[in-house]
Structure 1
């Protein structure tokens, strides 16, 4: 197995087809007889290259007479992977990184093999002399290059946070996240599940805030585990699980999930309801609803009814019918950069402005479906206040019959003392999540 060739094809498709790294890695490795070492190496150089893309391109501009936008994408992808190995992986000898890169170029773009060879060898000779932009003179450019975040994003974070916090946040965005799983208590007890996992040599750490949440280490192909196939566990980050806990669903509730795919929160809500009550799970794509149905089937959930429906539209048949409504809104995803580093390079301020309009419209429709006294939970996987606090503030200004429910104190997580929750990767070591709970008082 040529691990670097697989990595090359993944990086190429992420750039050329706008694929997502986590999905593509699983797709490319599915069915291949890859060892744990092979899988780890492929994952390492793919994620490492994506996480450090701006820094890597900054290096290329110093050693290449050809502008980056003029370099063939196969050639550029090979260069990027090679530079990542040279600059970041001590376990890979420099000569191996060069030789393997040249061999790949002979297969994918033979005429540039000499170009790749020359640049990589020149970088090796001069890598100790590569310097970053001056931090004191231009903090924006320094942070942009060192942590490979686009300039607009760095500017935005510096506007909301101080310099030290921003740097720690950007650094955390380039770190690998813990693997959280949710124990499915509809099928197995927490202790029995932990025993099974530890019996396979895995290291399991309990989460103090969510009893069914555990961190596991020592596994690569979790979807192939018996415990996963049997529906004893589900891959889900702490922040995502916290959303369902904050909703506080009850067995008798009728709950609407406005944007349900792929079903992690929806099935967790069903679990917390002990498979009693009713959940209407909606999304606008059939293939995403199929994911919810497949996860429900695997986990033994029987109370979820999926339905194709656009949350931007109002459904008059549901006015004041729901006990609780979840709006896990479409967002920029700036809180999950650790899992999908390509997000950094795809989002723009204009995207966020459009998302804010969508988020507000979905929230307005969700409010109409609530019974008096019902509760609405709004969540995003972003750390941008425009998509979080500002959306909630605007909603409350226009809907005087709603008030904030203090989940900040009840869940033991401090934010601003206003009752909502904001998780940050650099503080909470989890995905960046925002959660606000609103109650309809009339």
Structure 2
């Protein structure tokens, strides 16, 4: 790396994050957050960096296909730094109308000179200018293989495209692929222990945020012109928690009552746990467990910031059984580890980091955790199983198998707590499947059962 070359700082930060993600297998959301938190940046620069990082990750296979077509050097022989510089440049040229193409090329060349050898600038310049001169048809693959075509155009692995088509049909599959590449809303949950939604919306407006009410949950606020909302005074005072509306629905469907005992078997990072405690108005007890101590530390920070006093944090592996809690809990939540296929909009690298074998191993874990947790539910108590995936194998299939082997549990109909839920007829059966392309919130599965 040559330190004497001046480059555009936001693009350089985006490049470093992409290198971390694509070379070191870092999570894009975590690497990006770390980069933004350690840099003194304007709101505009933060937004641009975020757009660049997520844009490249979301459209990676389409961008790499373009590189392969316009570069004489095979992509596998291009150094990782230069690969990611080309990805950044192509994303700006092909996907961003507001960025001047000349700026995209010139800044990419500068980055190449800083992070590559002295002749690499000419190579980058040639590839990018060749792409600019190409007509739109040259930037699209042929449609002689539908799975391959959709995989490239929507930048999803072929196995996942095929699975979506098999599970949901070709029309819905295409809608899911399109939706997965769009940015999701940022939603926050009002901490009603401290403030009402209306009061919080007024405060956030005064802090400069553009806000509107969420449709699915009475505590939900959608924030549009977000930069780093965790730096806001309202966040630091514990007036809200960042949480999608799908995730908020879990606690409402669990329906904990004041003074009850609730067990959250897989609690980190704590959004649902603290929501449960909030609904219980700081009464009773919520036993919040997770296998990872560092994740419990994150939960603890949120608990303290939100002013919650009825949560008991415990380091415990949900794959193990705790006999002392048999038949003790009024409510048990299994927010199971899953493939995350419902939150690809929020974590786009998930689609590149999963494979069919992962789903098979995750299913085994889900079955075991649900079976263990069912022992803790007292008679007439509720057991809720939730995931952030749209994959039937991890959702409906898990529940059907559980009920077939556990006659002491039955599905319990779910009340519609908001108008959008009324269109989901499956709530009468006791479960709710949310799809991003239909409901415009994260893809979630939530099922409620009762011990009889």
- Which category of TM-score, normalised to the shorter sequence, fits these structures? over 0.9
User: Which structure 2 residue ranges, 5 or more long, are not aligned?
Assistant: 1-7
Return the match for 1:212 from 219, 224, 236.
219
Give the deviation of 1:102 after TM superposition.
1.1
Return the match for 2:444 from 401, 425, 433.
433
The residue aligned with 1:236 is: 243
SS at match of 2:378: strand
Matched, 1:118 2:126: yes
Give the Cα–Cα distance (whole angstroms) in 1 for the partners of residues 323 and 223 of structure 2: 45
| Number of residues of Structure 1 aligned to a counterpart in Structure 2 | 440
The residue aligned with 1:336 is: 343
Q: Deviations over 1:281-307 (max 9, x none)?
A: 110111000011000000000111111
User: Which structure 1 residue ranges, 5 or more long, are not aligned?
Assistant: none
Return the match for 1:279 from 286, 296, 302.
286
Give the deviation of 1:433 after TM superposition.
0.4
Give the Cα–Cα distance (whole angstroms) in 1 for the partners of residues 152 and 317 of structure 2: 40
Q: What TM-score, normalized to structure 2?
A: 0.95
Following superposition of structure 1 onto structure 2, how do residues 35-114 of structure 1 map, counting pairs within 5 Å? 35-110=42-117, 111-114=119-122
Matched, 1:373 2:380: yes
Matched, 1:200 2:207: yes
Seen in structure 2, the aligned counterparts of structure 1 residues 127 and 19 have a Cα distance that, compared at 3 Å, is: farther
Contact 1:270 1:279 survives alignment (8 Å): yes
Contact 2:212 2:222 survives alignment (8 Å): yes
Q: What TM-score, normalized to structure 1?
A: 0.97
Matched, 1:403 2:413: no
Give the Cα–Cα distance (whole angstroms) in 2 for the partners of residues 413 and 68 of structure 1: 47
Runs of 4+ in 1 over 4 A off after TM superposition: 408-411
Following superposition of structure 1 onto structure 2, how do residues 157-176 of structure 1 map, counting pairs within 5 Å? 157-176=164-183
Give the Cα–Cα distance (whole angstroms) in 2 for the partners of residues 313 and 357 of structure 1: 14
Matched, 1:359 2:370: no
Give the Cα–Cα distance (whole angstroms) in 1 for the partners of residues 56 and 252 of structure 2: 36
Give the deviation of 1:332 after TM superposition.
0.5
Give the deviation of 1:163 after TM superposition.
1.4
Give the deviation of 1:199 after TM superposition.
2.2
The residue aligned with 1:412 is: 422
Give the Cα–Cα distance (whole angstroms) in 2 for the partners of residues 338 and 45 of structure 1: 14
Contact 1:249 1:269 survives alignment (8 Å): yes
Give the Cα–Cα distance (whole angstroms) in 1 for the partners of residues 244 and 217 of structure 2: 11
RMSD after superposition: 1.4
Matched, 1:184 2:191: yes
Give the Cα–Cα distance (whole angstroms) in 2 for the partners of residues 359 and 246 of structure 1: 20
